[in-house]
Amino acid sequence: MDDLGRIRFEKDNEEERESMNHSGEIIAGVLAPHPPHLVYAENPPQNEPRSEGGWDTLRWAYENCRERILALKPDVLLVHSPHWMTVVGHHVLGLKKFKGLSVDPIFPHLFRYQYDVDVDVDLSLQIHEEVKEMGLNSKVVTNPHFRIDYGAITSLHLMNPAWDIPIVSLSSNNSPYYFSNEVGQEQMIKLGEATRKAVQKSGKKAVLLASNSLSHRHFTSEPEIPEDMSYEHIYHHGQYLWDMEMIKLMKQGKSRQLIDVLPEFMDMTVAEVKAGALTWMISAMGFPDYPAKVHGYGTVIGTGNAVVEWSRV
Ligand SMILES: [Fe+2]
């Protein structure tokens, strides 16, 4: 064996030893959009406003995805949401329980949700350590009155309405807005790597939720009955074409190309992926090269939303 071969052999052995020490794994990732309308339409007991339904194709997409994800029996659900925005660094929840009322500031007539959330504090703290190790800023939230954002709650509710799996919630650092899409992406790629290392060390089976829609131009008024589906459609055709382009890359397993195109997609469609959830998840999963499963696509007040699953099952 030549020198290069020996170095490779030792490196492979080292990686194998490392992976045997820690059996944790990200078993799936889901693009899990969070229009509060979807929770409103389901009429769960936690949400105060009542509805007559609506946005059924997206809710059926979530139903199908949920069935597959819960069958994998994850130990923990990790969510990254654009609506917990932090100016300095990346924050995680550091208390075992958070309880309170979450109100969507734009749609208070649709979403007033009593949440009662169990947090996997060990994994949160592990992520905190790994994030610092990557040279990024990190902070642990220990304020018991901290209010969890409606984006995280909506994605988590739609993925697991029983709330019987602990969660980890990560904030979205504001770098794409203060600096550039590209700087934001770089941060999220590092955050994803830190998340993967923490999950591996935890020994747990984790599912990641990227809580965001795709195209995000939307109507500024709503019908008298918000769930009147005769008013619901994509904001304009250009948004639809961009969304389909993104979904095509997902279905083809081209996650690196997907991440490369995202900065332009963000500018063209005011896309919510700008806040970083999708990039974080794809990076944490090691840029999967297998086809993602698209459970469904639909619009909410004109925005494009897809429920998409990455898992090898
Ligand atoms: Fe949002």
Per domain, the residue ranges of the chain are 25-310
Residue 126 to residue 49: CA distance in whole angstroms: 38
Q: In this structure, which long-range contacts are made by residues 71-74, counting pairs with CB atoms below 8 Å and at least 24 apart in sequence?
A: 72/27, 72/28, 72/205, 72/207, 72/311, 72/313, 73/205, 74/27, 74/28, 74/165, 74/205, 74/206, 74/207
Give me the mean pLDDT over the 273-277 stretch: 93
**CB within 8 Å of 107: residues ≥ 6 apart:** 36, 37, 40
Q: Which residues pair with 139 in a beta bridge?
A: 91
Residue 252 to residue 289: CA distance in whole angstroms: 8
Give me the mean pLDDT over the 265-270 stretch: 95
Residue 21: band (very low, low, confident or very high) from pLDDT cuts 50, 70, 90? low
% of the chain residues with pLDDT over 70? 93
**pLDDT over 60 (residue 20):** no
Indicate the range of 25-29, 178-182, 205-209, 260-264 predicted with least confidence. 178-182
What is the 216 CA–ligand 1 centroid distance (Å)?
A: 9
What is the 278 CA–ligand 1 centroid distance (Å)?
A: 13
What is the 137 CA–ligand 1 centroid distance (Å)?
A: 24
**pLDDT over 90 (residue 97):** yes
What is the 35 CA–ligand 1 centroid distance (Å)?
A: 6
Q: Nearest 5 degrees, angle CA 306-CA 44-CA 217?
A: 30
The confidence score (pLDDT) of residue 10 equals 58
CATH 2.40.50.100 applies to domain 25-310: no
Evaluate whether 59 touches 42 at the Cβ level (below 8 Å).
Answer: yes
**pLDDT over 60 (residue 50):** yes
What is the 171 CA–ligand 1 centroid distance (Å)?
A: 13
Indicate the range of 16-25, 162-171, 244-253 predicted with least confidence. 16-25
The confidence score (pLDDT) of residue 2 equals 57
Residue 177: band (very low, low, confident or very high) from pLDDT cuts 50, 70, 90? confident
**pLDDT over 80 (residue 13):** no
| Pairing of the two strands 167-173 and 138-141 | unpaired
What is the 251 CA–ligand 1 centroid distance (Å)?
A: 23
Residue 275 to residue 282: CA distance in whole angstroms: 14
Reported as a single tens digit per residue, the pLDDT across 115-127 is 999 999 999 999 9
Give me the mean pLDDT over the 224-231 stretch: 97
The confidence score (pLDDT) of residue 175 equals 87
Q: What is the mean pLDDT of the chain?
A: 94
The confidence score (pLDDT) of residue 211 equals 98
Residue 3: band (very low, low, confident or very high) from pLDDT cuts 50, 70, 90? low
Residue 204 to residue 210: CA distance in whole angstroms: 19
232-253 residues labelled b (16+ CB within 10 A) or e (exposed): bebbeeebbebbeebbebbeeb
Residue 52 to residue 41: CA distance in whole angstroms: 7
Evaluate whether 284 touches 200 at the Cβ level (below 8 Å).
Answer: no
What is the 34 CA–ligand 1 centroid distance (Å)?
A: 6
**pLDDT over 80 (residue 8):** no
Evaluate whether 184 touches 274 at the Cβ level (below 8 Å).
Answer: yes
Query: How many residues are recorded in the chain?
Result: 313
- Whole-model pTM: value is 0.92
